[in-house]
Structure 1
Amino acid sequence: MARTTESELSLIEQAKTNPEAFGQLYEIYVDRIYSYIYYRTGSQADAEDLTARTFFRALDSIGRYVHRGLPFSAWLYRIAHNLVANWHRDRGRRKFVSLEDVTAIGPRGKSPDVHAEDNERRGELVAAVRRLPEDRQQLILLKFVERLPNAEIGEMMGRTEGAIKSLYHRTLIALREDLATRSFHW
């Protein structure tokens, strides 16, 4: 994911006083923000609502936005993350889209038995991810589903890029150990 470009910085500055410019930013980022929220809530209606709230808050706060060298999307993801965290806290639940649904689609041309084995291995991996603490699950989602760079993940999670690298390393070790104790073979 690239850093914020000069043209995007110009658009952000315009958006501070021009709703049409903010609308362009909305069009650029709405699908990514919706996808992130949907994976975190597992509900289309809630994802739509929280996506709208994310952009409403962003519009309300755009005048105070200060570029700090990270992509503009990091700021939007941070807003979305806070809204999703509040959503979970308010409801006292942690419902996610089934990662099995996200990973169950296999490449064409595989025989049914190979596809079934792949799905079984994915299921074991997903179960191991779900046994991780919440912050590590979020890291895995942002890294592998959203494909965000460490700096952007750090901004979202309120940590330094170095802390994210360290957490990522510890998370992979924890996953490897968990899977090894369960005789998982990829």
Structure 2
Amino acid sequence: MQKPLQEKWLLYKIVTKKDAEAFGILYNTYIERIYRFVYFKLGTKEEAEDATNDIFLRTWNYLINSPHKRVQSLSGLLYGIARNAVIDIYRDRAKKHLVHLPAEELEAIEGENSLLEDLEVSQNVSLVEKQLRLLKQEYQEVLLLHYIEELTIHEIAQMLGKKPLNVRVLLHRALKKLKTLLDQN
């Protein structure tokens, strides 16, 4: 994550000078995080890759075509655009009446665990992921942004257009609901 001063400098260079190199730094800083967020929401590698590219294109267009708008946080802007892009894809799916079940692909777990331990961890991760998908969209988002993407409560609040206290309450309720679902299994 960029330090606030570096982030503001990048933003200044992108908005005022349309600096592609500065945007490249922004891209390299956030590409993996945005891809992970989108992949979790969409469930397919191809759609996630396409959507991620579209998100950065939308971000570039927004920044160079709307210089008068004040951007508080580049990460907030990126996640906001990502969220809207995912919603657009959901709408397109609904129009086509397609149902995509997310592929349950897990990354290889590094370390010196035995095969049995790896299997147990994999099953636990799969169970948590499965239960997480049963939560309301709003709960999924706050949990994903806070625990996976490691955004602060304030950053999430800014991105979602909510007060930090509301985000804390949402996060608490989401964790409580997830715990209830996990206890049932």
TM-score computed with the length of structure 2 as normaliser? 0.79
Instruction: Output one character per residue of 1:159-182: Cα deviation in whole Å (capped at 9) or x when no partner.
Output: 222111101111111122223333
Name 2:173's counterpart in structure 1.
170
Residue 161 of structure 1 corresponds to 164
| 1:12 CA displacement | 0.9
Do residues 88 (structure 1) and 90 (structure 2) align?
yes
Match of 2:132? 129
- Could you list the per-position Cα deviations for residues 94-133 of structure 1 after superposition, in whole angstroms to 9, with x for gaps in the alignment? 64452x625xx44533333333333333333333222211
Residue 94 to residue 149, structure 1, CA distance change in 2 (3 Å): farther
What is the deviation of 1:150?
A: 1.6
1:61 aligns with: 62
Structure-2 residue corresponding to 1:143: 146
Instruction: Give the CA deviation at 1:79.
Output: 0.5
| 1-structure distance, mates of 2:49, 2:125 | 28
Deviation, structure 1 residue 66? 1.2
Does residue 88 of structure 2 align to residue 75 of structure 1? no
**Is the CA contact 1:75–1:155 (under 8 Å) kept in the aligned structure 2?**
no
1:71-112 superposed Cα distances (whole Å, 9 cap, x missing partner): 3111111011101111112102464452x625xx44533333
Deviation at 1:137, TM superposition (A): 1.6
Q: How far has the Cα of 1:36 moved from its partner?
A: 1.9
Q: Give the Cα–Cα distance (whole angstroms) in 2 for the partners of residues 146 and 15 of structure 1.
A: 24
Cα distance in 2 between the residues matched to 1:121 and 1:31 = 24
Give yes or no for the alignment of 1:15 onto 2:14.
Answer: yes
Maintained 8 Å contact 2:43/2:103: yes
Equivalenced residue count is 176
Which amino acid in structure 1 is aligned with residue 10 of structure 2? L
Find the residue that maps to 1:101 and give its secondary structure: coil
Q: 1:36 to 1:117 in 2, by over 3 A?
A: closer
Residue 81 of structure 2 aligns with an amino acid whose one-letter code is I
Q: Percent identity?
A: 28
TM-score, with length taken from structure 1: 0.79
1:39-91 superposed Cα distances (whole Å, 9 cap, x missing partner): 222233322222222122212221244143xx311111101110111111210
What 5-or-longer segments of structure 2 have no aligned partner? Answer: none
Please report the RMSD computed on the Cα atoms of aligned residues, expressed in angstroms.
Answer: 2.4
Asked if structure 1 preserves the Cα contact closer than 8 Å seen for 2:43 and 2:101, the reply is: yes
Q: Structure 1: which 5+ residue stretches go unaligned?
A: none
Q: 2:43 maps to what in 1? A: 42
Say whether 1:115 aligns with 2:118: yes
